[in-house]
Structure 1
C-alpha cells in the first residue's frame, strides 16, 4: 500500500507592483536633465546649511560623496566614510558642492549610537540647529558643548543656522526593525526641530541591499514592494510624510554615472534644497513683519 505525503501550498508573492507607486515612471536622460535644471533654479541669496543626521553606518557621508559625484561628474570621496562599527565622522564638517549647486552647505555630524554616552550627544543638536557650533568642532559623546568652549558661537549669524535636516537611515534597518533606542534618540532630535519649525526629509540608503530586484535593476526602485513598505514604515515611525522620504542607492561599489543611478539621488536632493531655500525665505519674510 502506498503512502501519500501531504503537500502544503506555498503562495509566491511577486516582489514588484504592476505599476510604480511613485513617479517618475520613466527613468531616462530626459528625466535626469529635467531634475538637474530644476535644481539649478534653486538659488538662495546667501549660504544655506543642510544638516545630515542618522545612525552610525547609515550612509550620511556616502550620501554627501554621492552629491559631489553627480556635481563633479566623476567618483568623489570628499566626505570620508567608515565601517558600521563606529562613527567615522567625529568633527562637525561642512561641504560646499560646486558646478550644480549654488550657496548650499552640507553639514556632516557624528553618527547616532543606541546607547547613551557614545556617538552623537543629542543635547548638541539644538546648538547645531541654531548655529552656535563652529565648523570643525570635535564632538564629545560624554557631554554636550559648553558655552565657554572656543567652538561655541554666542551670537551666530543667519548664515550659521540650519535650514533643513536630512535624516539618513538604512532601508534594510527600517524594513527589518530599527532598535527602539535609535527611534527614541531621533524622536528627541525631531522634537527640537518642530519647536524651531525646521523642515525635514529622510533618506533611505542602501535600497539595493534590501531588495534583490533593485540591485539587479535600479529602475525597479518605485515598483519594489519592500521599498514601498520601508517608506511607509519610516513615515509611521518618524512622522515624516511619505513624499519627503527618498530611497536611494549611494555610489559605493558601482559608481558608474548613469541617469538611472542619479535620478533617486536627484529627487532627494531637489526636495531637500527646496525645503531649505523655502525656510530661508520664511525667515526673511518674518523679519519684515512687525
Structure 2
C-alpha cells in the first residue's frame, strides 16, 4: 500500500445532509469501485475464504517458505459504539460459518472494551489458527482518551493480551502484562480506524475525538504503520439497505467515504465500507463477501508494512519471532 502524508484534519463546515431515502436518487449505474474480479456469488465466498485461510505474512520471502513473522497484528481503534468489537465478531462468524459472540459488543455510554483483547481466529475444518490476530482496545470517548503512552507501547508490541486499561495511569514496565523486549512480530502491523457511517461526519469526528485521532496518527506515521478506515453501518443508506451487493453503487456511501477520508487525512481508497452482523442472527452471502474482501485488503496492508522491514526480517539481527505467543 502506498504511504500518504497525513494532512491536517479538515473540519466539515457545510450543513450535514441526511442520506438519501429515495433509492433511485442514491443509485449510481456505474460502481465507483470494483472488487478485483470478485462478484457477489458463493464462488467468490469460497475463493476469498481459501485465500485468507492460506494467508502467510510475506509468503513470497525465502522462495515461498514460511516467513519469520508467524502472524500479523491488526489493531482496531474507534469511537465507542462505532462497531469495532462487532467487526471482529463478524469476521469470526463469517469464517466459522455461524454466529460468533466472542467479543462484547453493543451500545453504551462508555467503552464496553476495558482491556486489550487479542483474538485468534480458527479456520474451517480444524485447519488451525489463521495467521493474523485482531487487537481490540477501549473505544475513544468525548471526555476520556487513550493514554498516549499506552498507545505507543501497544504499537511497539510491549502490551500483552488482557492488560486492563487504567484511566489515571498508563502501563508501567513492572506490570505483568508488559513485554520488555518485543520483536517485530509483536508490533502492530496495520491500524484500522472504525467509523460509524450512520452518523454525520461532524458527530463521528467531533473536535475532541478528532484531536485524539490526530495524536494517534502522529504515532503511527512515525512508525510508518498503514492505516485503513472501516466505514460501518452502511446499510443505513437507501441503496445498501435494499441490497448490500449494491454498496459500490451508492452515492451516499461514496460521499460519506470522501468526507471521512478527508477528516482523517487519508486517501479515499483506504476507506472500506462495511456492514456488521449486529442486526441479524445469520450471516448473509453479501456480508460474507464484503467482510472477507475487506479483511483481504487489511492483510495486504499489513504485508506492505512488513515489506518495508524485509532486511530486518531476513537479517541476523532479527531473532525469536517464531517463539512469540499471546
Sort the TM-score into its range (normalised by shorter chain).
0.7 to 0.9
CA-based RMSD of the aligned residues comes to 2.1
Structure 1 residue 97: Cα displacement: 0.5
- State the distance in 1 between where 2:231 and 2:162 align: 27
1:148 and 2:148 are equivalent in the alignment: no
1:231 and 2:244 are equivalent in the alignment: no
1:264 and 2:290 are equivalent in the alignment: yes
1:58 and 2:82 are equivalent in the alignment: yes
1:162 and 2:173 are equivalent in the alignment: no
The answer for the alignment partner of 2:210 in structure 1 is 183
The DSSP-based 3-state class of the residue aligned with 1:159 is helix
The answer for the alignment partner of 2:278 in structure 1 is 252
Give CA deviations for 1:165-224 in whole Å, capped at 9, x if unaligned: 111110123546431111111111111111001111110111113x13312211221111
8 A contact 2:157–2:183 mirrored in 1 = yes
The answer for the alignment partner of 2:131 in structure 1 is 103
The DSSP-based 3-state class of the residue aligned with 1:231 is helix
The DSSP-based 3-state class of the residue aligned with 2:198 is helix
Unaligned runs of 5+ in 2: 1-21, 58-66, 318-326
The answer for the alignment partner of 2:230 in structure 1 is 203
Of 196-205 and 174-183, the range deviating more from structure 2 = 174-183
The answer for the alignment partner of 2:304 in structure 1 is 278
- State the distance in 1 between where 2:268 and 2:55 align: 23
TM-score (norm 1): 0.87
8 A contact 2:53–2:123 mirrored in 1 = no
- State the distance in 2 between where 1:194 and 1:245 align: 17
The answer for the alignment partner of 1:23 in structure 2 is 34
- State the distance in 1 between where 2:107 and 2:283 align: 24
- State the distance in 2 between where 1:56 and 1:167 align: 12
TM-score (norm 2): 0.78
- State the distance in 2 between where 1:79 and 1:195 align: 30
Unaligned runs of 5+ in 1: 1-11
Give every structure 1 segment of 4 or more consecutive aligned residues whose post-TM-superposition deviation is greater than 6 Å: none
Structure with larger Rg: 1
1:171 and 2:184 are equivalent in the alignment: no
8 A contact 2:113–2:138 mirrored in 1 = yes
The answer for the alignment partner of 2:115 in structure 1 is 91
The answer for the alignment partner of 1:7 in structure 2 is none
The answer for the alignment partner of 2:156 in structure 1 is 130
